[in-house]
Amino acid sequence: MGYLVEMGELFLAGNYKREPIAFIRGFGTRLFTEDGEEYLDLTSGIAVCNLGHTHPELVKVLKEQAEKLWHTSNLYYTEPQTQLAQKLVENSCGDKVFFANSGAEAVEAALKLARRWAYENFGKEKNQFIALYNSFHGRTYGALSVTGQPKYWEGFEPLVPGITFIPANNKKALKSAFNEKVCAIIMEPIQGEGGVYPLEKDFIKTAKELCEKYKALLIFDEIQTGIGRTGKLFAYEHFEIEPDIMCLAKALANGMPLSAMLAKDEVISALKPGTHASTFGGNPLACAVALKVLEIVSDPLFLEEVRLKGKIIKDKFETLKEKYPQLIKEVRGLGLLIGIEFHVEVKKIYQKLLEQKILTTTPKSNILRISPPLIISYREIDFFMEKIEEILKILA
């Protein structure tokens, strides 16, 4: 056990189940430990470092901004923040942007906006939310309250009232849940923490139609799926609908703390001075980095590569599924957000990969999640798949 691991165990809170590994630097898809060991990172810090670690262009703009301005407060405008807001609006279905620091904060802002919008337009009785089972939206009380996994609630109840949960892709339950008191429905286009379960296009389309019928808002949580992860800049583009509110974070600034809530003009106009705020939200450092991230990721050729790489990985796993049907149950996902569901617990597979210096995540006991930096090379994909097949051969 290295020095940093020992110090971490002594002084850090125990709310994370950490591996006894301490990283001190990274470059591209690789991370390096205090002992000099090299790991292939197929997690991207949980879908955060879409452009990998210490991307030279991002480091350059960060250094340049660090010599100009770090913070002013949101009582004033700054150049990086206004430019980033413009870039996000020009490339999305949103009309205006609110910046915060984390995904949970973006979700909190979306929930508050939905209730405020409904209050101003229809009165205080229209305050109910619909959310999906197996979803994950964050750890703060509002975000936790619309997270449809009771294991995260334990010890923290009572939660925020007024939430109705329904199964994903169940149109009958969806229709039954809607009424005049619903102000919004919140959903992830792909349930990432739930095990990489994409929502069906028809389910999302029906939700949008019901929102229009009952004068409610459709909130898309794109915290994991946004910024190129699925092969589109935003995942809603796969489903041929536009949400009224969209939450972004994680990959927006490639690891710098930054989140955003985008909304239509007629909705976000409910956020008047004093209704919501964030001290550090949209700070110049993070916004400068995010501008460069969007410039790189929004390139159609870059996004086409993401789709191709994702298809290659999925196709290779489908081939392995045919060879090892007793082990692999299903392969799911879009772009480079991929979940492999097994008939067995994946702890051994995860540990074997870790021994081979490959980092993955396990959102559920039988699911392995792959979310590598979008810049992963075809050679690295081949290397990973070779190691996976070696492990499956042993387990078969």
221 in active site? yes
pLDDT digits (tens, 9 = 90+) for 207-241: 999 999 999 999 999 999 999 999 999 999 999 99
Residues of the chain with CATH 3.40.640.10: 57-297
- Nearest residue to 313 via CA among 360, 355, 250: 360
Q: Strands, DSSP E only, in the chain?
A: 23-27, 30-33, 38-41, 96-100, 128-132, 163-166, 182-187, 190-191, 197-198, 217-221, 245-248, 259-263, 328-334, 337-342, 358-359, 361-364, 367-370
201 in active site? no
Q: How high is the mean pLDDT of the chain?
A: 97
Catalytic-labelled residue, pool 221, 244, 292, 317: 221
CATH class of the region 57-297:
alpha beta
The answer to whether 264 and 110 have CB atoms below 8 angstroms apart is no
Interatomic CA distance for residues 194 and 149, integer angstroms: 8
Pull the structure tokens for residue 190: 């792909």
Residues of the chain with CATH 3.90.1150.10: 300-369
For every residue of 185-248, DSSP letters joined together read: EEE-SEETTTTSEEPPHHHHHHHHHHHHHTT-EEEEE-TTTTTTTTSSSSGGGGTT---SEEEE
Catalytic-labelled residue, pool 129, 136, 317, 384: 136
Residue 71, SS3 per DSSP: coil
Q: Give the helix, strand, coil percentages of the chain, each rounded to 5.
A: 40, 20, 40
Considering the segment(s) 300-369 as one domain, its CATH architecture is Alpha-Beta Complex (3.90)
Pull the structure tokens for residue 44: 């991207």
Of the listed ranges 1-15, 51-65, 88-102, 372-386, the least confidently predicted one is 1-15
265 in active site? no
Residue 1 has pLDDT above 80, yes or no: no
Model-level pTM? 0.97
pLDDT digits (tens, 9 = 90+) for 161-182: 999 999 999 999 999 999 999 9
Catalytic-labelled residue, pool 208, 232, 250, 314: 250
Interatomic CA distance for residues 29 and 128, integer angstroms: 43
pLDDT digits (tens, 9 = 90+) for 283-340: 999 999 999 999 999 999 999 999 999 999 999 999 999 999 999 999 999 999 999 9
Q: How confident is the model at residue 396 (pLDDT cuts 50, 70, 90)?
A: confident
